[in-house]
Amino acid sequence: MHLPDDCLAVIFHGLDSRMDRNSFGLTCRRWLHVQDFNRRSLQFECSSFILHPSSLSSKGFDIHTFQLHRLLRRFQHLESLSLSNCTDLHDSGLTRLLIYGSYLQKLNMDCCSNVTDYGLSLVASGCPSLMSISLHRCLGITDKGLETLASACLSMKYVNLSNCSQISDKGLKALTHWCFASCLKILDMRLCRTVSDTSVVAIAKGCPLLEEWNLALCHEVRLPGWRAVGSYCQNLKTLHVNRCRNLCDDGLQALREGCKNLSILYLNGCGRLTSVAIELFKFHRTSVCIKEIEILCIKPYWEFS
């Protein structure tokens, strides 16, 4: 019996396990084509251990431009691509996204330290449907690259810029422009040490749907920034302020009196906070759970698959 490709695709999507899906294409060349056409996610082996602290000092995964180009040509309908810890990946490896990136919605490039603003511009041009991007420790990305991304990918809901040392207020303010700001729900700025009140105020005012914001170790955020978060982030549910040197009692009061939908506050190591201010917060905001732990990386509910 000859089954049309549409029927084979239904069978493929009905397979529960990754092993079964990977074995599907071994039947014959035609079934392999159906598998390739219907594959929606691609994650390299290195991506599975990047969030473990020990991986930060380990050697990255060696993926060459030619290999990535072949895979993108083979899987032309990818919606999720994880290249995290592919430290040998350069801008040239991303050129095929201009041809095959139109379906991509989720991209993880954590620790791709050789990717620069030009590489990010290729992502911006080739992936207009992008909703999630993770750029943790992408040391070659600057304000220019972030501005290009913000102007092109207007449906972005999740952005991870943690430990991007070359990102400043100028680049972050770009997130509040165009339609980008009206969609953004999760923003990770952990370890963005040079970021100041200027960008925090702009984001608080300009991103009304923001639900989770990681400002841990953002030492230059001071009272005007905390007051802006309290006043304007009315949809914020989760806030990370771990080890923020300039979160003082007045700043915590601003968060206490604002952020009406806040349910979780990650708080520890803030040297300028007194125990009295923390107890007052707990007394007045009984519905807010204060957690004295630090989350190294926040991920959305539509996690990379």
Q: What's residue 165's pLDDT?
A: 94
Alpha helices in the chain (DSSP H): 5-13, 18-24, 29-38, 65-74, 97-100, 117-126, 143-152, 169-173, 180-183, 197-206, 223-232, 249-257, 275-284
For the whole model, what pTM was predicted? Answer: 0.86
Q: What's residue 60's pLDDT?
A: 45
Q: Which domains are delineated in the chain? A: 1-38 (1.20.1280)
In the DSSP assignment, the letter for residue 59 is P
Q: Is 134 helix (H, G, I), strand (E, B) or coil?
A: strand
Residue 75 is encoded by which pair of tokens? 């899987």
Q: What is the pLDDT along the chain (305 residues), one digit of tens a residue?
A: 455 545 544 554 555 556 655 555 545 555 545 565 667 788 875 554 444 444 443 444 556 787 889 889 888 999 999 999 998 899 999 999 999 999 999 999 999 999 999 999 999 999 999 999 999 999 999 999 999 999 999 999 999 999 999 999 999 999 998 777 889 999 999 999 999 999 999 999 999 999 999 999 999 999 999 999 999 999 999 999 999 999 999 999 999 999 999 999 999 999 999 999 999 999 999 999 999 999 998 988 656 44
CA nearest neighbour of 217 among 258, 286, 164 = 164
Q: What's residue 136's pLDDT?
A: 97
- Spatial distance between the Cα atoms of 146 and 168, rounded to a whole number of angstroms: 10
- Spatial distance between the Cα atoms of 297 and 186, rounded to a whole number of angstroms: 12
- Determine the distance from the C-alpha atom of residue 78 to the mean position of all C-alpha atoms in its chain, rounded to a whole number: 18
- Spatial distance between the Cα atoms of 141 and 135, rounded to a whole number of angstroms: 8
Q: What's residue 44's pLDDT?
A: 75
